[in-house]
Structure 1
Amino acid sequence: MSRHDSLYFADGTLTLQDLDGTLFNVYRHHFIAKSGFFSGMLTLPSPDQPTPIQNASNGISDSTAVPLPPNFTTVEYEKFLNFIFNVGSLDIPLVTDLCAILKTSHFFAAESGVQYAVHYLQAHANFPAALRFRMGCDYSIVSWVKAAFDDLVAVPVIDMTVEDEALLGTQAFRALVLTQAKVTDHRMSLAVCPPLPTHATWCRNPAYCQTQWESAWTSIAGPLGWLIKEELSGAEIHNKLDLWVPMAMTGECRLLTCSRLKEDLKREEVIIDSAVTALIRLVVV
């Protein structure tokens, strides 16, 4: 058994104890004000037995410590309490710390902790897609589920770790594999049968433009390479098309042809969006 004195105050303290026997001394009123869970335990009437925190004799000493729910580890409780009492570094926390704060704050109805964790996690550069997907499912953050699934579609299944698969779960992993297969089929069909060039009304040499388009298409540095080699997302290919100049093809003809190609690529977005919509119904809490 150990004690965390960093959260200890001289007056109005509340002693908590987790499943491992670790004791936490916290400032009672501040803690209750921050947590809807504990506020309810303290203030809601109980016709039969008072809750541990309502009993005035509990939480005033080590021997009468209020037991914490066994849902979290000692480290997760420590991260949660450190946040509640503004203890620790002012630097942006690690992803693991933010996840711990989100999990505990959600359970204990500490809205400030939820908002804090969500704010920093969604902008964190080291928030892996598979973990983002799991946290989005567990805490009903649909935008995270969609963004993570979009990112994961571009990652070959063979490159995923066992941890990634566990975070996704069986249903999501199966949906991901099926979606990747559909996107690959669509891309291969497009690579084999590229769209014909669309000519401007004033194009003086359609045959020349078509030759330039076909030559540019088959270049590995052009759309064919983007589709079958570089494993870019549809959005990334869209951006590349805006800057792409296929040799000496007439400018207006190029714009019209690339616009048509973008429409063909939108089929990929439809495939992914359909998979995400179906998946959200199954896995989001």
Structure 2
Amino acid sequence: MSRHDWLYFADGTLTLQARDVTLAVDGTLFNVYRHHLIAKSGFFSGMLTLPNPNQPTPTLKASNGTSDSTVVPLPRNFTTVEYEKFLNFIFNIASWSPDIPLVADLCAILKTSHFFAVESGVEYAVHFLEAHANFPAPLQFRMGCDYSLVDWVTAAFDDLMAIPVNDMTPEDEELIGDKAFRALALTQAEVTDHRMSLAVCPPVPTHATWCRNQEYCQTQWDNAWTLMAGPLGWLFKEELSGAEIYKKLDLWVPAAMTGECRFLTCTRLELDLTKEELIIDRAVAALIKLVVV
């Protein structure tokens, strides 16, 4: 392990060099500056400034015998690598600035920063993960649930709706969790049923009061609705959402159907076509109640 200004790793021996706190986990020692740690982390601020009279703090003697270092055992919530990323971030932030880090590194910063109350770390990780092209929806959903990021839960569930549950990997299922996976499967089935009903049974048109041949008008509407160049194609070939289809209706003119009948019918269809968004919103709201504190 290379030596940095912000910490020093040692196996069995410790060189302090003016660093006065040693963090220890799984046999690895992280030698760091107390004041910087306190300034960055609400967790360490409380731990290192409020003495515990019932539990004396262990120390390690410096190699030159002139000073002691407070030893702080780290919780085993995270791996040694995750701790390395976390400490590298809070003690050497300049090295993280130029490029977007890897998703795994950002996730490590988010997990540890959330636990140790490092607000700047949470903000940094959230910002770059949201901009990351390789941040998969299952992972975004899991982390949104774990860290109460409601926008992530909503956005990830929307993305997951586009992936058939039968195509998901076991790793994806594990990340999402049993309850969310079941909710996703049920929601996908409900949305598919709704889209099938729209495709197979064209909505009944609304006629203008002066429409003289409603039967002919409805025939034109039904024929146009079931063409692949119309709503049927938008539903299954282009896989547009109900809201997107509703917007396209403004430019869609069924042959020989009167303009006012078409306008009244399309206006009334907004609720039917956007029902799938309501189905998804209802499922997300129920999940948020279960998994986001």
Considering the TM-score relative to the shorter chain, is it more than 0.5? Answer: yes
Mark the CA change 1:35 to 1:63 in structure 2 (over 3 Å): closer, same or farther: closer
1:14 aligns with 2:21: yes
Aligned twin of 2:11: none
SS at match of 1:5: coil
Whole-angstrom CA distance in 1 between matches of 2:260 and 2:110: 51
Q: Match of 2:38, as an amino acid? A: I
SS at match of 2:30: strand
Aligned twin of 1:151: 159
1:66 aligns with 2:72: yes
Q: Match of 1:273, as an amino acid? A: D
Q: Give the one of 75, 82, 100 matched to 1:76.
A: 82
Larger radius of gyration: 2
TM-score normalized by the length of structure 1: 0.84
Q: Any stretches of 5+ residues in structure 1 without a counterpart?
A: none
Q: CA deviation at 1:239?
A: 4.3
Aligned twin of 2:182: 174
Mark the CA change 1:118 to 1:36 in structure 2 (over 3 Å): closer, same or farther: same
Q: Any stretches of 5+ residues in structure 2 without a counterpart?
A: 9-16
What does the per-residue CA deviation read over 1:75-104, in whole Å, with 9 as the maximum and x for residues that have no partner? 211221222121424212222222111100
SS at match of 1:281: helix
Alignment of 1:14-163 (within 5 A): 14-19=21-26, 21-50=27-56, 52=57, 57-58=59-60, 65-85=71-91, 86-89=93-96, 90-163=98-171
Q: CA deviation at 1:107?
A: 0.5
1:3/1:24 contact within 8 Å kept: no
Whole-angstrom CA distance in 2 between matches of 1:107 and 1:59: 29
Q: CA deviation at 1:241?
A: 3.8
What does the per-residue CA deviation read over 1:38-64, in whole Å, with 9 as the maximum and x for residues that have no partner? 1111112323114x4xx5x35967997
Whole-angstrom CA distance in 1 between matches of 2:127 and 2:256: 48
1:197/1:253 contact within 8 Å kept: yes
Q: Match of 1:168, as an amino acid? A: I
Give the share of equivalent positions with the same residue, in percent.
74
Mark the CA change 1:243 to 1:6 in structure 2 (over 3 Å): closer, same or farther: farther
Whole-angstrom CA distance in 1 between matches of 2:6 and 2:281: 46
Q: CA deviation at 1:22?
A: 3.0
What does the per-residue CA deviation read over 1:7-61, in whole Å, with 9 as the maximum and x for residues that have no partner? 2395344332332x333232221122101111111112323114x4xx5x35967
Q: Match of 2:95, as an amino acid? A: G
Q: CA deviation at 1:184?
A: 1.4
Mark the CA change 1:238 to 1:25 in structure 2 (over 3 Å): closer, same or farther: farther
**Which structure ranks higher in relative contact order (CA pairs < 8 Å, sequence separation ≥ 6)?**
1
The worse-fitting range, judged by mean Cα deviation, of 244-253 and 98-107 is 244-253
SS at match of 2:32: strand
Q: CA deviation at 1:183?
A: 1.2
Mark the CA change 1:244 to 1:266 in structure 2 (over 3 Å): closer, same or farther: same
Whole-angstrom CA distance in 2 between matches of 1:8 and 1:70: 20
Q: CA deviation at 1:209?
A: 5.2
Whole-angstrom CA distance in 2 between matches of 1:126 and 1:184: 28
1:154/1:233 contact within 8 Å kept: no
Q: Match of 2:54, as an amino acid? A: D
Q: Match of 1:70, as an amino acid? A: R
Whole-angstrom CA distance in 1 between matches of 2:181 and 2:190: 14
2:141/2:153 contact within 8 Å kept: yes
1:186 aligns with 2:194: yes
SS at match of 1:7: coil
What does the per-residue CA deviation read over 1:231-264, in whole Å, with 9 as the maximum and x for residues that have no partner? 3333443444455455565555444333322210
Count of aligned pairs between the two proteins: 279
The worse-fitting range, judged by mean Cα deviation, of 148-157 and 224-233 is 224-233
The worse-fitting range, judged by mean Cα deviation, of 191-200 and 58-67 is 58-67
SS at match of 2:239: coil
